[in-house]
Amino acid sequence: MDHRLIPSIPLFDGVKRRRRLALAALVDEVAVPAGTVVTREGAWADEFFVIVDGDAEVGTRSSARIATLGRGDVFGEIGLIAGPRRSATVVAVTPMRLLVAHRRDFSTLRHAFPVVGRRIDETFAARTAAVA
């Protein structure tokens, strides 16, 4: 991933310039066409996602649509933190660009970059409280 993209992503606000290359090494940038099922409820959770561009819908078997996500939003943290399976299905509504961190890199991202880890944990707490 191009480390120059980092300052444009709210999750990464506060990451110092000298640490951006290390952060960029933890994520891959991928393009996803509209209509792609990015995560499926019940599947094994192995990745965390940050939306660079595009929109997605989040739903479950019991609720057709829970939320709409867009630029700067994240998903996949619930399965990696509370896992081991996905709690929802996420479908690309438009073509998307995503940053993807696999399980091991997600753990490093949370611990080596405390400001990022705190934001991920806050998102996790808010989402799990909303369904409790």
The tens digit of pLDDT for each residue in 80-102 reads 999 899 999 999 999 999 999 99
CA 124 and chain centroid, separation: 11
Q: Apex CA 27: angle with CA 73 and CA 60, to 5°? A: 40
Alpha-carbon gap, residue 71 to 62, rounded angstroms: 26
pLDDT, one tens digit per residue, over 25-53 is 999 999 999 999 999 999 999 999 999 99
pTM of the model: 0.94
Helices 103-112/114-131 angle, 10° precision: 110
97 strand-pairing partners: 31, 53
Architecture of domain 3-131: Sandwich (2.60)
